[in-house]
Amino acid sequence: MPQISEYFDKSFLEREGTDLGTVLQSLEKSKQIFLTTLEGVSDKALHLSPAEHRWSPAQVADHVIRANLFFLEALELALERATNPSLPIPTAPKGQLSGEGKPMAPEEEAPRAGRSRAELILDLEQSVSQLEHIGPRLEAAGQLGKLAREVHFFAPMTALELLRLASWHMRHHTRQLSS
Residues in Cβ contact with 76 at an 8 Å cutoff, skipping those fewer than 6 apart: 134
99 has pLDDT over 90: no
Cβ atoms of 1 and 125 within 8 Å: the answer is no
pLDDT band of residue 24 (cuts 50, 70, 90) is very high
53 has pLDDT over 80: yes
94 has pLDDT over 80: yes
CA 12 to chain centre: 15
Parse the chain into domains and list their residue ranges: 11-177
CA 167 to chain centre: 7
Residue-wise pLDDT for 125-160, tens only, equals 999 999 999 999 999 999 999 999 999 999 899 999
Average pLDDT over residues 28-43: 97
CATH number, domain 11-177: 1.20.120.450
Average pLDDT over residues 49-60: 92
Residue 147 backbone dihedrals phi, psi, to 5 degrees: -60, 135
CA 135 to chain centre: 15
> CA separation (Å) from 168 to 10, 31, 50, 81, 139?
11, 10, 23, 25, 20
Percent of the chain with pLDDT over 70: 99
